[in-house]
């Protein structure tokens, strides 16, 4: 009898090791076995730790969730396939037709896009300037959710999280904050009274521009319905990405220390440069939210900054053609220093009027500062700006 096909499926048995590897193995299995129905019930009902199915999350998902919850001192966390999937899961888990969402007008373009999509499902959305207290108070009446970014994309606006959370809670609304730009190194929004913190872990936590991941953290009672939606609708990531996310986070503090120190120096350098019209960095006294940022952010002011050249594509192209180390890449939060151009990428799908209201003209650039040598970065920018 030829047992080849059976052996090919069943012979690769590995003994469970006596001791633990220091790096969690990658559990690359979508399907998990059970001894009997009692075990199925016990795992479904949470009486026994176990894995049901890839979409419910593997040990690698659980590890990333434990890490993200710990970094934010949160009760619970959910790992998702990207920042946008985390946001979408949160919106679909927390909102229903007839609800009203108040959002900062300073948000990542795709977040504004998803909020617009919610209109098709009967959710009303209004956007407000984070500094407009009267407008905030007025709009928050009857709202279910307030959506903010800790350090906004791309103008680096910093909302007073504690004050706004208080205002939202008085109105009966929950507060969700996208903390992607700050990372837990610079801010832990839950400590300011926020209910749900979301991050694109694709960025600073992953840290090496090689994963797509998102995370949500907060109180278990708030996140439970979101987790149910995330599992049912399939917003989950996969074991390998989750493993990379955990691996990236090992060096989060070291990378953030270096990158944010570099960013402060580059912000000062750019602000003094004759070719630069304006720098947006919350660590500069010239930034409108500098005082707020001192309260909201810790360990410095972050690795993201934006700056404005004359409003022309050719000025931007001249700069890009003469840079050696700093390259254009339409993401952020990696170890490399990169530039992006919101008008043609992150905020491309806004109407021209919406872009103009935010000042996102053709000369507006966003920089994700990395961990290279500061002098090399400064020399590179000096060379590039010299060609503008
Ligand atoms: C502030 C912010 N939030 C969310 C996202 C979306 O994250 P992801 O690309 O992982 O879906 C981004 C992406 O650039 C972002 O900049």
Architecture of the CATH domain 252-386: Alpha-Beta Complex (3.90)
Most informative mutation of 153, 157, 205 for ligand 1 (most atoms within 8 A of CB):
153
Q: What is the pLDDT of residue 385?
A: 98
Q: How far apart are CA 151 and CA 302, in angstroms?
A: 8
Residue 266 has pLDDT above 80, yes or no: yes
User: Is the separation of the CB atoms in 47 and 230 below 8 Å?
Assistant: no
Strands 174-178 and 145-149: parallel
For residues 161-184, give the mean pLDDT.
Answer: 98
Q: How far apart are CA 280 and CA 304, in angstroms?
A: 9
Residue 250 has pLDDT above 80, yes or no: yes
User: Is the separation of the CB atoms in 184 and 196 below 8 Å?
Assistant: no
Residue 1 has pLDDT above 80, yes or no: no
CATH 3.40.640.10 placement within the chain: 37-249
Query: Does residue 178 carry a catalytic annotation?
Result: yes
pLDDT in tens, 17-70: 999 999 999 999 999 999 999 999 999 999 999 999 999 999 999 999 999 999
Architecture of the CATH domain 37-249: 3-Layer(aba) Sandwich (3.40)
pLDDT in tens, 313-336: 999 999 999 999 999 999 999 999
pLDDT in tens, 180-234: 999 999 999 999 999 999 999 999 999 999 999 999 999 999 999 999 999 999 9
- Nearest atom within ligand 1 for CA of residue 213: 10
- What token pair was written down for 134? 């009267």
What is the Å distance from ligand 1's center to 83 Cα? Answer: 5
What residues contact residue 117 under an 8 Å CB cut-off, 6+ apart? none
Q: How far apart are CA 228 and CA 216, in angstroms?
A: 13
Q: What is the DSSP letter of 303?
A: S
pLDDT in tens, 98-152: 999 999 999 999 999 999 999 999 999 999 999 999 999 999 999 999 999 999 9
pLDDT in tens, 68-93: 999 999 999 999 999 999 999 999 99
User: Is the separation of the CB atoms in 298 and 186 below 8 Å?
Assistant: yes
Q: How far apart are CA 13 and CA 313, in angstroms?
A: 60
- What token pair was written down for 40? 């199925």
- Nearest atom within ligand 1 for CA of residue 86: 11
CATH 3.90.1150.10 placement within the chain: 252-386
User: Is the separation of the CB atoms in 327 and 241 below 8 Å?
Assistant: no
Q: What is the pLDDT of residue 2?
A: 74
For residues 294-299, give the mean pLDDT.
Answer: 98
- What token pair was written down for 70? 């710990």
Residue nearest to atom 9 of ligand 1 (CA): 83
């Amino acid at each position: 009898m030829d047992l080849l096909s059976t052996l090919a499926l069943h012979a690769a048995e590995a003994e469970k090791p006596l001791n633990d590897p220091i790096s969690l193995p990658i559990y690359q299995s979508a399907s998990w076995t059970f001894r009997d129905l009692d075990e199925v019930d016990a795992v479904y009902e949470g009486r026994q730790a176990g894995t049901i199915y890839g979409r419910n999350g593997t040990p690698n998902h659980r590890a990333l969730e434990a890490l993200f919850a710990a970094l934010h001192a949160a009760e619970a966390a959910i790992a998702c396939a990207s920042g946008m999937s985390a946001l979408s899961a949160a919106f679909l888990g927390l909102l229903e037709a007839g609800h009203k969402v108040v959002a900062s007008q300073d948000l990542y373009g795709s977040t504004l896009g998803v909020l617009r999509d919610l209109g098709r499902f009967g959710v009303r959305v209004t956007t407000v300037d984070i500094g407009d207290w009267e407008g905030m108070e007025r709009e928050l009446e009857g709202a279910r959710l307030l959506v903010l970014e800790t350090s906004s994309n791309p103008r680096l606006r910093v909302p007073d999280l504690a004050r706004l959370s208080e205002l939202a809670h008085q109105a009966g609304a929950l507060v969700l904050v996208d903390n992607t730009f700050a990372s837990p190194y610079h801010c832990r929004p839950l400590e300011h009274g926020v209910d749900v913190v979301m991050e694109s872990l694709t960025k600073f936590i992953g840290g090496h521009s090689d994963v797509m991941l998102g995370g949500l953290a907060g109180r278990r009672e708030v996140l439970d319905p979101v987790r149910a939606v995330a599992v049912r609708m399939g917003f989950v990531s996969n074991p390998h990405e989750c493993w990379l996310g955990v691996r990236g986070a090992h060096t989060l503090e070291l990378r953030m220390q270096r990158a944010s120190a570099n960013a402060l120096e580059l912000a000062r350098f750019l602000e003094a440069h004759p070719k630069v019209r304006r720098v947006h960095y919350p660590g500069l006294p010239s930034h409108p939210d500098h005082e707020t940022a001192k309260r909201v952010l810790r360990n410095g002011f972050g690795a993201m900054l934006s700056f404005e050249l004359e409003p022309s594509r050719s000025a931007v192209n001249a700069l890009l053609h003469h840079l050696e180390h700093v390259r254009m890449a339409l993401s952020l939060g990696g170890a490399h220093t990169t530039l992006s151009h919101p008008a043609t990428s992150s905020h491309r799908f806004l109407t021209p009027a919406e872009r103009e209201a935010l000042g996102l003209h053709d000369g507006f650039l966003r920089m994700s500062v990395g961990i290279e040598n500061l002098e090399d970065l400064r020399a590179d920018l000096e060379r590039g700006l010299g060609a503008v």
